[in-house]
Structures are given as structure tokens and as C-alpha cells.
């Protein structure tokens, strides 16, 4: 079959690879009908995450049709149409039973690597480094889905791929980031990053009843998309984020702050970002935490900081004194996708939210390398790419 394969920094190729096969009775093989490129894939493309190996099939946002089912799988049957969450979950361990799916204790077949890096294992993920199991990803014609009797979400034929595809990652990610803020009607929610995740944070914050939603980025068409969803925009290249947030909140600061940027933050006019880039290049720091620093200063005392943005390793010069002395609450994590999918699928069916608004480009999987470049450099107004095998 054909798949997008990681060969190194900025080097994704459309290669011929062996077809996946059933390896365990709970598995299923899915024929991918649509897949997408995520901001998290860019961290691999830019080679900021450790644990990638040449030849790894990438991609963790995908859906399709069930082609084959293992003999112990009683949930799926051939022909079912499913969205596959990026988190592989067993459904039985202590964490899964509590709904903490992204830290499932059993699905990471390289738990040894994760434990060394993080102190404990986390869940297996599709197409996302050997630290999370080295599972083949979904930017491919076919995918083997392990533990396929738990996470895959069956979707009705009345909804298009474009309407349901993002149930597997970025829609619940934006939703969880906001839900973890426990929104009150008096809240100002400030969201750093107007990428696809930031866009869904905006929609969630509006739906969950925030008083005011503010979004920070520097890409005009991303800011406009967020404004169309009900947000006030701050372009961090044109104005001071801290001053403007102060103006919008009577000098108090936003009660709820969301980092939808992660470890590749950009900054202008700031000395810390120059130092971060140098340190990252010299491997003295794995991640660039400019947004975290800004958030910890901006957030109102006793406020909540929610961090869906991905960090991989070590960060430097983070003002933890502000976190402690201002009594901030930090909520973060890879998304516990299946915690939210029933509710979000219902909201899509009822027409409360149509996630397809975020798609700006649709192309062929064969042109994957081109679309990675387009998405990374935000060329041609690119916000979200959907690929068809």
C-alpha cells in the first residue's frame, strides 16, 4: 500500500510499504477514506520530538471503513464507518476506567521508553514516535487499529467525512482545553494560537458560555476565522499582548488562559525567544516556552491555565513564582478523546457545531509532502488540510 513516511527533518515521502495485517484478536484493519495533518505532526516534521525512526508511517487523524476484524473483536464488523481516536486505549486498566484515556497503562508497547522520559508510561498513539509505541499512522491507505474494540467511534452515513473526521483529535482537544477551564459566565478566555486547535477552543468557549473570548496569533486569515467564530483578535506582531489583554479586562487579566501553540512558539520583540532558539539548536532545551511565560504573567490570580499545546521535554526560564504566588491552576494533557466523543457527535448531529469550517485545503495523499510544507508555512491561507488516499 501507499503511505506518508518520515525520513527525517522536513522529509515526508509517499512510499510503498507493506500492507498491515491483523496481529491480535482485538485488532481491525481500516481502509482510510480521509485523514488530516495536525499541528502535532509538524513537531515531527520539524524533528523536535525525540523517538522518530526513518521509515515510520505518520498520521493520527483518520477515519474510514472497517475491512477486516480480529476474532475477539465484538464491537466492529466489516463495512462499519469509523473515526479512530489518536489515543490507543485498552478500556480496562485503572486509568481507562477513570476516563483518563491518554494515560492508558497498557497500550504503549514501548512503555520502557516513556517511563524513562516521563517517569511513567502514557498511552500508545498512532504515528507518533516510538515513545508512544511506534505504531504505524493513518496517513495511509490502510491502518491496523490495535484494541479496535474500544476507541473507534461509529459514525452515521448522514454525516460527511469532513463533519466527523476531527472527532478523533482536534475537536475534542479544543473542547477538553475549554472544559478544563470550568467556564463561568463572567469569564474572559484568552486563547494563544489560532491554528485548528485554537479555532475549536474558540467555538467551545463560545458554546460553553464565556463572557468574552480573545484569540492571539499573527496570521491574519487564522485570526479572521476566529473572529467569525465569536472571538476578539490580537495580532502579537502588531500590538502588545499583555497591554491589550489588560485593556479588555479592566486591568485584571483573563481568568482562563489556553496555550494552543505548544513547543514551537514564535515571538517577536522578545529576547527570551532568541535565547530559546539558540538553546533549542544546541540541544540545551527541547521546547520553546515563550507562550507559557506570557500566559503565566497574563493570567488573573486564582485563574486557570489550560495547556493542550504539546511539549516534549525540558523548558527553561519559566516564571513558576508567578504560578505559585498567583494561585494558578494548571490543567494539561494529551486529549482523553473518548471522554468527549459521544457528546460531540451528538452536537454535530444536532447542528450545534460543524467542524468542517476549519478545512481550507483538500488534496490527494500522494501530494502529502506538498501539503506538509503548505501547512507548516501557512501558505495560501492554509489552516487545515484533509488528504484523500
Q: CB–CB of 211/186 below 8 Å?
A: yes
Q: Exactly one of 34, 40, 122, 129 binds ligand NAD (CB under 6 A); which one?
A: 40
Is residue 192 near ligand NAD by the rule CB under 6 A?
yes
Is residue 67 near Zn ion by the rule CB under 5 A?
no
Determine the interface stretch with ligand NAD among 8-16, 213-221, 317-325, 366-374 (rule: CB under 6 A): 213-221
Shortest CA distance to 234 belongs to which of 213, 253, 255?
213
Q: CB–CB of 375/382 below 8 Å?
A: yes
Per partner kind, with CB cut-offs from 5 to 8 A, the member of Zn ion, ligand NAD, none near residue 96 is: Zn ion
Angle between helices 170-179 and 341-349 (to 10 degrees): 110
Q: Measure the CA–CA gap between 303 and 364, rounded to whole angstroms.
A: 44
| 296-326: burial string, b at 16+ Cβ within 10 Å, e else | bebbbeebbbbbbbbbbeebbeeeeebbeeb
1 vs 42, which CB is nearer to ligand NAD?
42
Is residue 179 near ligand NAD by the rule CB under 6 A?
no
Q: Measure the CA–CA gap between 154 and 183, rounded to whole angstroms.
A: 30
Is residue 66 near Zn ion by the rule CB under 5 A?
no
Side-chain-facing half-sphere of 21: CA atoms under 13 Å: 2
Q: Distance between alpha carbon 28 and the CA centroid of its chain, in Å?
A: 24
Q: Measure the CA–CA gap between 143 and 18, rounded to whole angstroms.
A: 11
Is residue 385 near Zn ion by the rule CB under 5 A?
no
User: Cβ 12 to ligand NAD, closest distance in Å?
Assistant: 16
Q: Which residues pair with 128 in a beta bridge?
A: none
User: Cβ 334 to ligand NAD, closest distance in Å?
Assistant: 4
Is residue 114 near Zn ion by the rule CB under 5 A?
no
Q: Measure the CA–CA gap between 292 and 322, rounded to whole angstroms.
A: 11
Q: What number of helices (H) and strands (E) belong to the chain?
A: 13, 18
Per partner kind, with CB cut-offs from 5 to 8 A, the member of ligand NAD, Zn ion, none near residue 104 is: Zn ion
Using CB under 5 A, which residues numbered 143 to 172 contact Zn ion?
Answer: 169
- DSSP E strands, 70-149: 81-84, 87-88, 124-125, 142-145
Is residue 386 near Zn ion by the rule CB under 5 A?
no
69 vs 267, which CB is nearer to ligand NAD?
267
Q: Exactly one of 58, 265, 348, 374 binds ligand NAD (CB under 6 A); which one?
A: 265
Q: Exactly one of 56, 169, 187, 276 binds ligand NAD (CB under 6 A); which one?
A: 169
Is residue 85 near ligand NAD by the rule CB under 6 A?
no
Is residue 93 near Zn ion by the rule CB under 5 A?
yes
Is residue 96 near Zn ion by the rule CB under 5 A?
yes
Exposed, middle or buried by CB within 10 Å (0-12, 13-18, 19+), for 357? middle
159 vs 225, which CB is nearer to ligand NAD?
225
Exposed, middle or buried by CB within 10 Å (0-12, 13-18, 19+), for 376? middle
**In this structure, what is the dihedral angle of CA atoms 68, 71, 76, 78, given to the nearest 10 degrees?**
30
Is residue 196 near ligand NAD by the rule CB under 6 A?
yes
User: Cβ 351 to Zn ion, closest distance in Å?
Assistant: 25
Is residue 38 near ligand NAD by the rule CB under 6 A?
yes
Is residue 131 near ligand NAD by the rule CB under 6 A?
no
Per partner kind, with CB cut-offs from 5 to 8 A, the member of ligand NAD, Zn ion, none near residue 334 is: ligand NAD
The count of chain residues that interact with Zn ion, using the rule CB under 5 A, is 8
Q: Exactly one of 40, 102, 199, 338 binds Zn ion (CB under 5 A); which one?
A: 40
Chain residues in the site for Zn ion (CB under 5 A): 38, 40, 90, 93, 96, 104, 106, 169
Chain residues in the site for ligand NAD (CB under 6 A): 38-40, 42-43, 169-170, 173, 192-198, 216-219, 222, 236, 260-262, 265-267, 290-291, 308-310, 334-335
Amino acid at each position: 500500500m501507499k503511505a506518508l513516511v518520515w525520513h527525517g527533518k522536513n522529509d515526508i515521502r509517499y512510499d510503498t510499504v507493506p500492507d498491515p495485517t491483523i496481529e491480535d484478536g482485538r485488532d481491525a484493519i481500516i481502509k482510510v477514506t480521509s485523514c488530516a495533518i495536525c499541528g502535532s505532526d509538524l513537531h515531527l516534521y520539524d524533528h523536535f520530538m525525540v523517538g522518530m525512526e526513518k521509515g515510520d508511517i505518520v498520521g493520527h487523524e483518520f477515519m474510514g471503513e472497517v475491512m477486516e476484524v480480529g476474532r475477539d473483536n465484538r464491537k466492529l464488523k466489516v463495512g462499519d464507518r469509523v473515526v479512530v481516536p489518536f489515543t490507543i486505549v485498552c478500556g480496562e486498566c485503572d486509568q481507562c476506567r477513570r476516563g483518563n484515556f491518554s494515560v492508558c497503562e497498557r497500550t504503549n508497547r514501548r512503555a520502557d521508553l516513556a517511563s524513562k522520559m516521563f517517569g511513567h508510561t502514557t498511552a500508545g498513539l498512532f504515528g507518533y514516535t516510538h515513545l508512544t509505541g511506534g505504531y504505524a499512522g493513518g496517513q495511509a491507505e490502510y491502518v491496523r487499529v490495535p484494541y479496535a474494540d474500544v476507541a473507534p467511534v461509529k459514525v452515521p452515513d448522514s454525516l460527511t467525512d469532513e463533519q466527523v473526521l476531527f472527532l478523533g483529535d482536534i475537536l475534542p482537544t479544543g473542547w477538553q482545553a475549554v472544559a478544563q477551564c470550568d467556564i463561568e459566565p463572567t469569564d474572559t478566555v484568552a486563547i494563544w494560537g489560532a491554528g485548528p486547535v485554537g479555532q475549536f477552543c474558540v467555538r467551545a468557549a463560545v458554546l460553553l458560555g464565556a463572557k468574552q473570548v480573545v484569540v492571539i496569533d499573527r496570521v491574519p486569515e487564522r485570526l479572521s476565522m476566529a473572529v467569525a467564530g465569536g472571538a476578539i483578535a490580537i495580532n502579537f506582531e502588531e500590538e502588545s499582548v499583555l497591554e491589550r489583554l489588560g485593556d479588555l479586562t479592566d486591568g485584571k487579566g483573563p481568568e482562563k488562559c489556553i496555550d494552543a501553540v505548544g513547543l514551537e512558539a514564535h515571538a517577536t520583540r522578545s529576547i527570551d525567544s532568541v535565547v530559546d532558539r539558540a538553546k533549542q539548536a544546541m540541544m540545551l532545551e527541547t521546547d520553546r516556552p515563550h507562550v507559557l511565560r506570557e500566559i503565566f504573567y497574563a493570567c488573573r490570580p486564582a485563574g486557570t491555565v489550560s495547556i493542550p499545546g504539546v511539549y516534549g521535554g525540558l523548558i527553561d526560564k519559566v516564571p513558576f513564582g508567578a504560578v505559585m504566588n498567583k494561585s494558578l491552576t494548571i490543567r494539561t494533557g494529551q486529549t482523553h478523546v473518548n471522554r468527549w466523543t459521544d457528546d460531540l457527535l451528538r452536537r454535530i448531529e444536532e447542528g450545534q457545531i460543524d467542524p468542517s469550517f476549519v478545512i481550507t485545503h483538500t488534496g490527494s495523499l500522494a501530494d502529502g509532502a506538498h501539503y506538509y510544507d503548505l501547512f507548516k508555512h501557512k501558505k495560501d491561507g492554509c489552516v487545515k488540510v484533509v488528504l484523500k488516499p
